[in-house]
Structure 1
Amino acid sequence: MVQYYSVDAKPGYTSETLDRLKQKSQSSQKEILCSLIADEMAIRQQRIWCRGRYIGVVDMGLGDATDTDPIAHQVYVLLLVSLNESWKIPLAYFFIAGLKAEMKANIINIALAKCHAVGVKVVSLTFDGCRSNLLTMKLLGCNIDNIDDFKTCFKHPVSEQNVTVFLDPCHVVKLMRNTLESKSCITDNEKKVIKWKFLCDLNNLQHKIALNLANKLTNGHVEFKNEIMKVKLATQLMSRSVAKAIQFCQELKLPAFDNSDATIKFL
């Protein structure tokens, strides 16, 4: 018999998820291994009165929100993804107007403790590479400042086992692209200069000769501000094919591509 029932779905840690995971843990023949994913997403800014409470204001799941609470412009979401089966399930969400690293670290530690209590083993954490998340890593116990003592894992708050942190590679590639474009020039570990100019020059050259040198570079890749969230614009730009095209232009001794070795290596 199929059973139907309503779900509370208020901000905070989802009790229905934890109950279902506990049932699964008790009936499963194997250990439940999961990765925890944390992300912030933009939402429409509005305050709504619905069924006796306000929706759309900052709400950390600690009680009913009021009309004096600030309007939220983001939602902070935690998602569990199974590593040894094919499923994923939302664990928690919070309406926020910005979230400090200390609060993120607390939320993650509480989530790990709740998962441990229902028999779920979380072995990794994934989030974007923004500044507040890097600080969250440090607060959790990682060390990403000293290359001689590099540490990308931290101790589970209950089991004391290592939880490994992965920065979302798609977001990291976009950050690399954005940094190079905004700074125009950056240097590598050998103090050689990496230039955004070579990418623009390659795009202009391909437009001039009406031929792409075995790459996908277009105006949209170098003038990406209106589509800054598109991952493929960053990955197609920061690619081996673009590096090979610049190298080809350098070997042809085109003046615009002199001293492009560092940029080629970087791409």
Structure 2
Amino acid sequence: MIGFVDLGSGIDETSVASEALVFMVVGLQGHWKMPIAFYFISSLKPDTQRILLLHTLEALHERGIKVVCVTMDGHISNINMCTMLGCQLTLNQPLKTYFVHPSSGENVFVIMDPCHMLKLVRNMLQAYSSIVSPAGTVKWKYISELNDVQEHEGLHAANKITRKHINFEGQKMKVSVAAQTLSRSVAMALCMLMEAGYPQFEECSPTIEFLQVIDRLFDIMNSKNPRAGGFKAPLGFRNWEDTLGFMTEARAYLTKLRLNDGTPLHRSKRYLSVTGFVINIDSFTMMIPELLEGQRYVCTYRFSQDHLELFFNSIRASGGWNNNPTVAHFQSYFR
């Protein structure tokens, strides 16, 4: 019989599996990635997830693979799992973004998927309409009004904002839509309209600063091309000091963001939109100098969850017209 929950210790014939939990290893040196384990689940408690992760780390250590970080999205079960492992991932107390490897005793850092965090920031700004930064009030309406002006004029000010970026409910999962919304090109367009004397953009300077900070942070945490320059360059000896200085300033900026009633954003219901980037900043600050001792540069895209998303796309595509595989299909495709 197949189709039941299976966590590796035997089939649980009282529960039917509805999801697959997959672990994938991505190489920092060399171009390789490998899905190494999967478990059929219906729901998973953080403690069980912790045991599976520790077992995976031990198995990799036995095979001579050093794990430097674990990447995940912002699901509450992942946060609770990290807490059980010894991390502290809320800004109410000093952050601790690593836990001890069960076999080697070395630190294993936690990375929140930057693409997922970017979508959370976009969703947060749209949901709250406005937030308060050290420079003033950051407002979603300026991005919406930018689209209105461009539609009225029939020209785009060197950005990709359209109606789908404003009304994104049907495309919440698309990273490209979020990246094009919270981008430097949108910030420059707002700056141009403000300097051109458009009355509705007179006080959009705080929004411009917010967009620039988020855009640069995302570029730093998603660098792919070893030959890229500027903010998209990989982290190496040449730019690490400047990058570290910016990340320190950005961390202070993010922790000072507040709601209109004065509540710190990192204590609101959408706290992870800020805390996720701060967690990554702290992890990169401690992890990158160690990695640069053995190589010239680090492409931070290696820490992305995108590798796993592409694998899932491949699994879905293997089913042809049916992109919702059964347990038997998944096992066959995975093999």
Please say if 1:62 is aligned against 2:9.
Answer: yes
**2:163 corresponds to:** 219
Gap change, CA 1:182 and 1:98, over 3 Å in 2: farther
Unpaired runs of 5+ residues, structure 2, are 212-335
TM-score by length of 1: 0.72
Please say if 1:197 is aligned against 2:197.
Answer: no
Is this contact kept in 2: 1:54–1:65, CA < 8 A?
A: no
Is this contact kept in 1: 2:17–2:42, CA < 8 A?
A: yes
Please give the secondary structure, in 1, of the residue aligned with 2:173. Answer: coil
- Decide which structure has the larger Cα Rg and report it: 1
2:152 to 191, 208, 211: 208
Is this contact kept in 1: 2:130–2:138, CA < 8 A?
A: yes
Q: Deviations over 1:125-151 (max 9, x none)?
A: 111133332333322222333488333
**2:77 corresponds to:** 132
Gap change, CA 1:186 and 1:139, over 3 Å in 2: farther
Unpaired runs of 5+ residues, structure 1, are 1-52
**1:83 corresponds to:** 28
**1:44 corresponds to:** none
Q: After TM superposition, list the pairs within 5 Å mapping 1:12-91 onto structure 2.
A: 53-55=1-3, 57-66=4-13, 68-72=14-18, 74-91=19-36
Please give the secondary structure, in 1, of the residue aligned with 2:67. Answer: strand
Q: After TM superposition, list the pairs within 5 Å mapping 1:182-261 onto structure 2.
A: 182-188=127-133, 190=134, 192-261=136-205
Q: CA deviation at 1:61?
A: 2.7
Q: How far apart in 2 are the matches of 1:260 and 1:235?
A: 19
Q: How far apart in 1 are the matches of 2:196 and 2:77?
A: 45
Is this contact kept in 1: 2:5–2:42, CA < 8 A?
A: yes
Equivalent residues, number: 211
Q: CA deviation at 1:206?
A: 0.5
Q: CA deviation at 1:87?
A: 2.0
Code of the residue aligned with 1:54 in structure 2: it is I
Code of the residue aligned with 2:2 in structure 1: it is Y
Code of the residue aligned with 1:77 in structure 2: it is V
Q: CA deviation at 1:229?
A: 1.2
* Identical amino acids, percent of aligned pairs: 38
Q: How far apart in 2 are the matches of 1:65 and 1:54?
A: 10
**1:105 corresponds to:** 50
Gap change, CA 1:131 and 1:252, over 3 Å in 2: farther
Q: CA deviation at 1:215?
A: 0.5
Is this contact kept in 1: 2:135–2:206, CA < 8 A?
A: no
Gap change, CA 1:136 and 1:186, over 3 Å in 2: farther
Question: How well do the aligned residues superpose, as a CA RMSD in angstroms?
Answer: 2.1
Is this contact kept in 1: 2:7–2:39, CA < 8 A?
A: yes
Code of the residue aligned with 1:92 in structure 2: it is A
Q: CA deviation at 1:239?
A: 0.5
Gap change, CA 1:183 and 1:109, over 3 Å in 2: same
Code of the residue aligned with 2:163 in structure 1: it is N
**2:214 corresponds to:** none
Please give the secondary structure, in 2, of the residue aligned with 1:165. Answer: strand
**2:113 corresponds to:** 168
TM-score by length of 2: 0.58
Code of the residue aligned with 1:221 in structure 2: it is H
